[in-house]
Structure 1
Amino acid sequence: MGKELMWVCGLLPQKEQKRLVEICKEANLEVGLPEVVFKFPLHISMKKSFYVMDFESVKNEIVSYIQKNGPLACYANSIIKYKGMIWLPIKLTNEINDWHKGLDVLLNKEFDVPIDGFDADFKPHISLFTKGSQKQINKMYKKLVPKISENQLTIRKFVVGSSKHGDNYFEV
């Protein structure tokens, strides 16, 4: 048993995922950006990926935490360009902030998982495009701005995954 990279994400509702992917893929026919984020379900990272020694114990604690803290209401803002990527930012409400901080505290206290800079300055978002030239990103941004607007979402499913489990992640 060695170190294993783990992650925790909130999944967008299926209907909203489908809508966003269709909008992005249609706009991308002209632009040609790599569509790497669409290989996985669209999601909000609830904590930066972290290393653990005992995946099963950590997974069980996270599953219990998710079950106790239930669904999250989210408000998607308009898209932004962030460090050469296109994001759909999620408003950092008290509910999302408390959920995130609670998970950080639990993992730090029980498993000595450090609170990373990303987690200390949490910016919930959905990545739409993460690779491409600045020119391509700018062109895609201009195409998407009028098509993606603010929206209320409810995150009802969460995913717990790891590097050793690959695509076999656990839905809660």
Structure 2
Amino acid sequence: MPSRFRRPACLLAAALAVSGCASLQSSDNIFGVITPYRVEVVQGNVVTKEQLALVKPGMTRAQVRDVLGSPLLTDAFHADRWDYVFTIRRQGAEPQLRRIVARFEGETLKSVDSNAELPEEREFVASIDTFKTSRKAPPLALTEEQVKALPVPEKPAAPAAEPIGPTRSYPPLEPAK
């Protein structure tokens, strides 16, 4: 290629590359088929309706920590406040943000406030299930008929009263005095 065409061709290729990069950044997919990978970000403690029902005013800090877990935020300037923040961003699911504030007077719980309605445990699992398939998981408990159909285990042989094999005599471990 002659040198007079080389420079404009390089400039044209660079301009196309830069414009292509800008268009990729503004859209979520390429040609409607390829979507970029997005990192799943999960932060904080999942606090469900069942867990919050177990927390009552008058509980100690240790009892609250046993039920809700360690708080995500504790402030040295506000020692009477624990913040439980939960966020999740998962591809294919709606992002979630929940805040729960536990306030203490000394070592006892005064109140618990939440910014949103907390889900039950099953609702939470369903909300983050991005597969949305009808997975037919086998039941965890057996029915009466299934228990009866199980083979009966063999009874172990009774241990012999006398040791089998030669008896050995060992010298004492400590010297006689």
TM-score (norm 1): 0.21
- Bigger proportion of residues as strand: 1
The structure that is helix-richer by fraction is 1
**What TM-score does the superposition give when structure 2 sets the normalisation length?**
0.21
Q: Which has the higher contact order (CA 8 A, sep 6+)?
A: 1
The structure that has the greater radius of gyration is 2
